[in-house]
């Protein structure tokens, strides 16, 4: 089930909210868990066994780790069980096909017969919920979180449907108190509903509108410079509005249940360095990689060379986390190299190491170059776009793309680009304005009500449109 569907908006969500607010407060966490399993099982009920298995193992491991600490013993074996189990499940379901296909390609080069196998189906959301459950046992081991007392609380935390499939990655210690007791108010409910509408409009009216431009340009065999840059620009807007839309809807749904989830995006395209970009893009993942991978690899504690290596390797593994494809590996290498280069050119300001800021367009272009590799099906496909971007196939718009251009797609591309850079200014002005002006500015958000209605009508007229990050 996806958020941008009539089944979710007009059947699942109303039924959930009606029951959630009808039952006593003590039962509400259980209602969330029950509906979350129904939400996840809508696609493949058998994969519920997988998420339940992960939940039970990490619940027991967390309890045994805490018991070991209390008894003065080293409970490392329970942490190892959790990490091996989570990474093992992730590795099997996400990377088996890629590994065998890559090995078969090597066999074919040597003239050998390929290995025959049945393709493994990737469970939706496994990248996100395995990271969540693994962070819980690591935090308990590090004494940064107390073990959960009730299994229903942990089951709710792992399977909570607003952020189960595509994040944000919520750490247990951020919501531990909220699982036990949280505030419910009309303000939270209304703000959450508005946030859901904003995310819905970003997805249906912007991301889906520019998607045909992306498909048309990335499928070209010999794109011109205009084709390639149009495609890269369209995908830059599509991915941001698609993924931030899911995060907006997840955060809004959480507010409607009384939860406050961490923000996942902070206007990343205004960044003036790649370091700043990763503080603003997919914040929950970048902070997870920093705290559980970069620091574990040594961070900046073992000299300059080790620091660069740890930073680069973190991004390479972060690239592979997104998917089992050489394109994601190359994308991770690209960003890891840029981050290491920026760190090598940092300067010290008031005792803090600060990356030298790049002109705004430079950072954006570097990000866009990376997005081409991220979007392409193969490295060869990405190279075709890169060849086009430097003008080796000509500069003007090709006839193949020109006849497919639609006014709505181009309008939404321009609209999306404008608001990607205008929104931070509007937000800062609203926060700094006097109370009366701030109230007037906030009324502008009411425009999302008719836009939401228009989005629902558009959704009803188009085909199934899942979020891009469902594939990760």
Structure tokens at 109: 């080069």
What is the length of the chain?
472
The residue behind tokens 């078969």 is 104
User: Is residue 225 within 8 Å of 388, Cβ to Cβ?
Assistant: yes
* Rounded Cα–Cα distance for residues 462 and 4 (Å): 11
Helix or strand or coil: residue 125? coil
Going by C-beta distance under 8 Å and a sequence separation of 6 or more, which residues neighbour residue 425?
none
The residues, ordered by sequence, that sit 6+ positions from 310 with a Cβ below 8 Å of its Cβ are 294, 297, 298, 299, 300
Start-to-end C-alpha separation, the chain: 16
* Burial call 236-263: b when 16+ CB within 10 Å, e when fewer: bbbbbbbbbbbbbbbbbbbbbbbbebbe
| Active site positions, annotated | 322
Cβ 54 vs Cβ 86: under 8 Å: yes
- Which residue's entry shows tokens 């995006």? 265
178 in helix, strand or coil?
Answer: helix
d(CA 261, CA 25): 20
In three-state secondary structure terms, 354 is strand
Distance from C-alpha of 97 to C-alpha of 338, rounded to nearest angstrom: 30
For residues 366 and 355, what is the distance between their CA atoms, to the nearest angstrom? 16
Q: How far apart are CA 472 and CA 465, in angstroms?
A: 16
């Amino acid at each position: 089930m996806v958020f941008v569907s009539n089944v979710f908006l007009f059947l699942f969500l109303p039924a959930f909210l009606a029951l959630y607010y009808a039952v006593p407060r003590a039962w509400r966490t259980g209602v969330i868990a029950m509906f979350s399993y129904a939400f996840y099982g809508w696609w493949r009920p058998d994969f519920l066994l997988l998420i339940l298995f992960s939940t039970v193992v990490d619940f027991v491991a967390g309890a045994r780790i805490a018991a070991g600490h209390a008894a003065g013993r080293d409970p490392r074996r329970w942490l190892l069980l959790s990490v091996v189990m989570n990474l093992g499940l992730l590795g099997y379901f996400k990377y088996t096909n890629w590994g065998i296909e890559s090995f078969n390609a090597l066999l074919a080069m040597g003239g050998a017969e390929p290995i025959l196998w049945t393709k493994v189906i990737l469970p939706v959301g496994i990248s996100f919920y395995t990271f969540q459950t693994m962070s819980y046992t690591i935090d308990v081991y590090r004494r940064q979180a107390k073990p959960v007392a009730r299994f229903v609380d942990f089951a709710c935390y792992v399977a909570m449907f607003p952020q189960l499939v595509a994040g944000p990655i919520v750490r247990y210690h951020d919501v531990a108190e909220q699982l036990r007791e949280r505030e419910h108010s009309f303000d939270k409910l209304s703000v959450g509903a508005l946030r859901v509408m904003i995310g819905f409009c970003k997805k249906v009216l912007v991301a889906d509108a520019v998607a045909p431009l992306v498909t048309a340009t990335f499928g070209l065999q010999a794109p011109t410079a205009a084709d390639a840059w149009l495609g890269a620009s369209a995908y830059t807007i599509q991915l941001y509005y698609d993924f931030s839309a899911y995060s907006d809807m997840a955060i809004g749904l959480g507010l409607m249940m009384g939860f406050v989830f961490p923000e996942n995006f902070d206007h990343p395209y205004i960044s003036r360095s790649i370091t700043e970009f990763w503080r603003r893009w997919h914040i929950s993942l970048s902070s997870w990689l920093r705290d559980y991978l970069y620091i574990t690899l040594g961070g900046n504690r073992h000299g300059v060379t080790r620091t660069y290596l740890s930073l680069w390797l973190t991004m390479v593994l972060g690239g592979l986390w997104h998917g089992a494809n050489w394109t994601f590996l190359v994308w991770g290498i690209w960003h890891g190299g840029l981050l290491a280069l920026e760190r090598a050119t940092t300067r010290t300001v008031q005792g803090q190491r600060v990356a030298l800021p790049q002109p705004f367009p430079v950072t954006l272009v570097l990000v866009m170059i990376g997005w081409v590799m991220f979007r392409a099906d193969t490295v060869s496909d990405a190279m075709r776009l890169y060849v086009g971007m430097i003008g080796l196939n000509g500069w003007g718009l090709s006839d193949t793309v020109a006849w497919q251009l639609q006014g709505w797609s181009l309008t939404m591309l321009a609209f999306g680009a404008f608001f990607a850079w205008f929104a931070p200014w509007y937000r800062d002005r609203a926060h700094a304005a006097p109370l009366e002006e701030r109230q007037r500015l906030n009324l502008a958000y009411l425009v999302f009500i008719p836009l939401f209605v228009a989005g629902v009508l558009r959704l009803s007229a188009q085909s199934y449109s899942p979020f891009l990050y469902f594939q990760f």
